[in-house]
Structure 1
């Protein structure tokens, strides 16, 4: 089961990272290159942390959820667990696997 307090903390950190990016876009001359790099890295790291937490939660609960809500995802029950994982979670998109923090 997902720790609600942890997820709230992660989403707030993600919101703050994107807020800082919005400020930077509004006034880019106010930030040095290292600050801009830090903002980009924070955006990527916080989004990846939220995604990883959701994927881990899904991985722990998917069989139970399928049994508890059979009408909710009728077509998913007929598929293999690997198919459900690939469709619903996948690898988190190529974005997080191809990008690395800015150096």
Structure 2
């Protein structure tokens, strides 16, 4: 895990920065995961959103390199924790394995 700086995250950095800074919501008592899928030149919101995510479940997800959602395989590119809104932004791109 390293500090995120948009410059080091090319070609994804600007899109990630814009989405995280624009993130809205209200405070909740549990974390939620928000997925963003890469469609060059930017990430777009993915329909797959999870409500409450338990800490262990979230840690497991962050340690995996790939995930399958709705029958499609995705590679994790970046993850960003927003502690104020208790959101974890998961940035992925579709891959063929």
Fold agreement, TM-score > 0.5:
no
Q: Which has the higher strand share?
A: 2
Q: Which has the higher helix share?
A: 1
Which protein has the larger Cα radius of gyration, Structure 1 or Structure 2? 1
TM-score by length of 2: 0.21
